[in-house]
Copies of this chain bind each other. A is one copy, B any other.
Amino acid sequence: MNSKPIIVLVRPQLGQNIGKAARAMLNFGLTELRLVAPRDGWPNPEAGPAASGADEVLEQASLFDTAQQAVADCSLVFASTVRRRDLVMPVVGPEEMAKRIADAPGRIAILFGPERSGLETEEVALANAIVTVPINPQFGSLNLAQAVILLAYECSRNAALSQPTVKETEARAPHGELEGLIDQLNSELDAKGYFHPPSRTQATKNTLRTIFTKPGWSSREMKAVRGIIRALAGPARNRGKT
């Protein structure tokens, strides 16, 4: 299930922050924005430029008088705030929130309070759980757009779990190619008188093997390294001719 939460900004103060929140949302595929009594009215001319192209989110934003109305159709609601002493309710981190969102049927909302003061107690109480981003206790300074982007990221992260993860770009070469490289290296080094004294030869060869096994080179890389060994060991090529 790939449920996408609705972002609800309660009494946001600055149009700029509404725009930044829209941009943060769209970066992680969230498109539904609800605004509860924005201080400077709506639409707000300062929102557009700050959205850096996320205009569709702003244009489709819907307006409500109260947080309660804004979440009326939602069956799962989170309140983004620090832990509240005045309320006994579950507190989850972003990861747990994303997990619950992914598993939930119905509509889901995340409430964010005004920049300066945060959500009122009554608004937090609308939620099923508080979500708190664990930040540096000596320096808690997360602004509205940052809180939105971190929670939006966490939701998309979870949605992406079902996708193939990013792989290393090239497969390791088959072991036979590694053997070929090591043989070549040993024979070129032998020709240069590298393995000396004879009593140490096997130990040195073992070391070389571990060093050249470690990279996990692809066939392409292996081929390049063999070319390098050949070039280093051979005579200088005359670059002037053909």
Q: Hey, which bits of chain A sit against chain B, CB under 8 A?
A: 23-24, 26-29, 52-54, 88-93, 95-96, 132-136, 139-143, 146, 149-150, 153, 156-157, 160, 165-166, 168-170, 185, 188-189, 191-194, 196, 207-208, 211, 214-217, 220-221, 224-225, 228-229, 231-239
Which chain B positions have C-beta within 8 A of A224?
Answer: 207-208, 211
A165 touching B93 in the complex, CB below 8 Å, given contacts A193-B238, A228-B208, A233-B232: yes
Instruction: Report the separation of the CA atoms of residues A68 and B153 in the bound assembly, to the nearest whole angstrom.
Output: 31
Shortest C-beta distance, A212 to chain B (Å), equals: 8
Q: In the complex, A132 Cα to B134 Cα: how many Å?
A: 23
A127 to B69, CA, bound (A): 50
Residue in B27, B233, B238 whose CB lies within 8 Å of A141: B27
Are B149 and A236 within 8 A (Cβ)? Answer: no
CA distance A233 to B228 in the complex (A): 10
Nearest 9 CB-CB pairings of A with B: A193-B237, A215-B215, A232-B232, A194-B231, A193-B239, A29-B136, A26-B139, A232-B233, A90-B168
In whole angstroms, what is the CA distance A140 to B146 when docked? 16
Q: Are B146 and A24 in contact (CB under 8 A)?
A: yes
Q: Which residue of the partner chain, among B165, B211, B239, contacts A217 with CB atoms under 8 Å?
A: B211
